[in-house]
Amino acid sequence: MKADGGPMRFFNNMRIRDKIFVGYLMAMLAVVGVAIPSWRYLAATDQRFEQALGRDVPQLLALEHLRDKAATLIHAVDVFAGRMAANQLRTGDSNSLAAERTAMQDAERDLAGFLAAFAGDLRSAHISATDPRSQILAAGDAVLSIPKGLSARADSGATANELLEIAEGFDTSAIQFCSLIDGAIANEERALATMHEETRDAQAQATWLIGSGILCLILVMLACGYTIANRIAQPIVRLRAAMTRVGEGDFAAIEELSTRDEVGALVDAIRAMVNKLQEAGKELGESEVKFRTLVGNIPGVFYRCANDTAYTMEFISPAVQALSGYPASDFIGNKVRTYASVIHADDMDLVNKAVEDGLNQRQAYVIEYRVVHRDGSTRWAREYGQGIFGEAGELLHLDGAVFDVTERRRMEGELRQALDQAKEAMDKLSRQDRLAALGQVAGTVSHELRNPLAAIRNSMALIRQLTADKGLGVERAMDRVERNIARCNGIISDLLEFTRKRDLNRMSTAIDGWLAEMLDEHTMVEGVAVVRELSSSGVVALDRDRFRQVMVNLLDNAAQAMTISGWSPTDGRRPTIAVKTEAAGPHVRLSVADNGPGISTENLAKIFEPLFTTKASGVGLGLPTVRTIVEQHGGTIDVESAVDAGTTFVVWLPRQSADAALPDDKDKEQAA
């Protein structure tokens, strides 16, 4: 388009209105250009035809009249001459032929009249002597002179032969005249025929010319119409293309357009608008950059989501990547994933409920939930959100901020754990305090009781001597007294044992071997089987005397539970105690399991408490003592029990490391 020459550029720069006007003008010019020559050509052909007709037809008619009159005159002359000749021959009288003479004279006058008229028409024209018409006139004059001669000769009494000679001469002239007329008529007719043909040809030519002209006209008009339409449309097409590019951000595209027509005005208007938009966009861009920088720098995830079933994310700040491992673009428009998809499945119900409640009550909601990070780890998130409502009270969208509180939660957890540990330690301390206080009292009381008990025992010995061999039957009662004095002493010993603080005397001990020996020496209650499975291969720093107490206590408890009167296993199983050791990491796991009546859940919680007992005899210090000894060894003790299935005590003792510096048996003996 730019390469177009002057006229085309001029045309391009015309207004659309003018372009259309120019188009119409060109079409009209083309119409006129075709119509005028066609009309003129047709008119000329017509005129020629008319002219020919006006000249040739009357001439032809005149000639035909001349011929007719000549024939009539010939006939009249022949008749008069013949009769005259006949009369001459018969009578010699010629006057009796008046009628024939009159007919001949009439015919002569007729012919003379027509010949004069024929001649009169020709008089104005310059006719050459060789023209057939002048010959006809000359021949006519010759023909006309004869009847007069004949009539005069007849009156003068000419002979029949003379008359016949005159008639013969007349015939010759007449025949020449007639043949001249015939020639002229044939000429005229030929001329007419030729002209007719020419006219038909001319008309055909004119028709072809006009047809071609119209065809050309149509083609020209189509070409003009297409060109003009094209010229009008092209700037609009280019404008559209430019607008598309502007839409894609190429603002320079609008600058490349140049047209001076109405589209040009439109382009100018759009250009102005685009420039304003560009400026506005720039300002908006700057403010958006500020906003994004602000949002990006705040260590939280800000979002705005639509109020639809999927909570489609309209905006979410880039910090979401730190929280979830996925880029913000994944969430915007829910393109790749929904925000809900990163919320821990177990927390989903809680989150949904909090959001729904918040929206229903039109209150901000605060939720803490877990987010499953892309790397599989779990983060704690704290979300502050609220619904944004329109003027009519309709929910427009949800805005909120989410913060990663994993660290805080972790610290809270640690704090809680530390508090629990502190509480446990305090409990332990206070328990130890209580036990210490109890120990003091028990120690004092036990000592005080020992003396009265000794007095009772001595008195009983005295009574036994005094009543011996007297047959009083009090031996049974005395046995009972002594037996119960022994029980009291036992209880006092237990109390003192429990309350006394003693340091351990530890020696490296292969626990399996030591246990096997200990079990061999231990006298088990009749009817109770002991099975052992000692496979820990562990070495433990053990105070053997104290730990023997632990084992005896656990074994006796189990045996007593299983042999208690009134209980028998429902499935008839044999009362069995299983002693088992196994390696468990840095520990040796030692278990003592019975298949006795079990302990109720209620009692199970209290069995390690001092002074709790379910047994008829005993003060409830056995298991507390066991626990104290185990803990002194740096171990722990657990219990599991199921009613009518059995009870298992599990002791965890720290395994002695290879380089432990504790003396073993030999060292001990050598030292001793």
Partner 1 sequence: MSRANVMIVDDDQDLAESLAELLEMSGCKVTTAANGREAVLSHGKRDFDITFMDVRMPIMNGVDSFFEIRKLKPDAKIVMMTGFKEAIVAKALEAGAVGLLNKPFDIAAMLAIVAKAA
Other C-beta atoms lying within 10 Å of the C-beta of residue 246? 19
Please say which residue, 395 or 486, places its beta carbon nearer to partner 1.
486
For residues 581 and 589, the answer to whether their CB atoms sit within 8 Å is: yes
Alpha carbons 516 and 493: distance in angstroms, whole number: 27
Exposed, middle or buried by CB within 10 Å (0-12, 13-18, 19+), for 390? exposed
Regarding beta strands 576-584 and 529-535, do their DSSP bridges make them parallel or antiparallel, or are they unpaired? parallel
Q: How far is the CB of 622 from partner 1 (least distance, A)?
A: 15
Q: How far is the CB of 445 from partner 1 (least distance, A)?
A: 16
Helix, strand, coil percent values for the chain (each to nearest 5): 65, 15, 20
Please say which residue, 199 or 614, places its beta carbon nearer to partner 1.
614
Q: How far is the CB of 468 from partner 1 (least distance, A)?
A: 21
Q: How far is the CB of 646 from partner 1 (least distance, A)?
A: 15
Q: How far is the CB of 414 from partner 1 (least distance, A)?
A: 41
Alpha carbons 264 and 12: distance in angstroms, whole number: 11
Q: How far is the CB of 427 from partner 1 (least distance, A)?
A: 24
Regarding beta strands 587-594 and 395-404, do their DSSP bridges make them parallel or antiparallel, or are they unpaired? unpaired
φ/ψ of 301, rounded to 5, equals -100, 115
Q: How far is the CB of 614 from partner 1 (least distance, A)?
A: 6
Please say which residue, 123 or 483, places its beta carbon nearer to partner 1.
483
Please say which residue, 247 or 566, places its beta carbon nearer to partner 1.
566
Q: How far is the CB of 558 from partner 1 (least distance, A)?
A: 14
- DSSP E strand boundaries for 353-501: 365-372, 378-389, 395-404
Alpha carbons 125 and 55: distance in angstroms, whole number: 12
Q: How far is the CB of 491 from partner 1 (least distance, A)?
A: 13
**Three-state DSSP state, 124:** coil
Alpha carbons 58 and 665: distance in angstroms, whole number: 177
Please say which residue, 353 or 487, places its beta carbon nearer to partner 1.
487
Please say which residue, 235 or 597, places its beta carbon nearer to partner 1.
597
Hey, what are 306's tokens? Answer: 């639509």
Cα–Cα nearest to 610, from 602, 620, 618 = 620
Cα–Cα nearest to 107, from 145, 72, 147 = 72
Q: What is the length of the chain?
A: 672
Q: What is the sign of the dihedral through the CA atoms of 518, 520, 521 and 525?
A: positive
Alpha carbons 569 and 577: distance in angstroms, whole number: 14
Long-range contacts of 24-30 (CB under 8 A, 24+ apart): 26/220, 26/221, 26/224, 27/217, 27/220, 27/221, 27/224, 30/216, 30/217, 30/220, 30/221
Please say which residue, 299 or 473, places its beta carbon nearer to partner 1.
473
| 582: β partners | 535, 589
Q: How far is the CB of 564 from partner 1 (least distance, A)?
A: 5
Q: How far is the CB of 493 from partner 1 (least distance, A)?
A: 19
Alpha carbons 68 and 76: distance in angstroms, whole number: 12
Q: How far is the CB of 432 from partner 1 (least distance, A)?
A: 24
Positions that interact with partner 1 (CB under 8 A): 477, 480, 483-484, 564-567, 597, 613-617
Please say which residue, 484 or 505, places its beta carbon nearer to partner 1.
484
Please say which residue, 27 or 491, places its beta carbon nearer to partner 1.
491
Alpha carbons 196 and 201: distance in angstroms, whole number: 9
For residues 490 and 482, the answer to whether their CB atoms sit within 8 Å is: no
Please list the alpha-helical segments (H only) found in 468-536. 475-499, 511-521
Please say which residue, 385 or 597, places its beta carbon nearer to partner 1.
597
Please say which residue, 465 or 565, places its beta carbon nearer to partner 1.
565
Run of H or E including 641: strand 636-642
Please say which residue, 392 or 616, places its beta carbon nearer to partner 1.
616
Q: How far is the CB of 487 from partner 1 (least distance, A)?
A: 8
Please say which residue, 117 or 445, places its beta carbon nearer to partner 1.
445
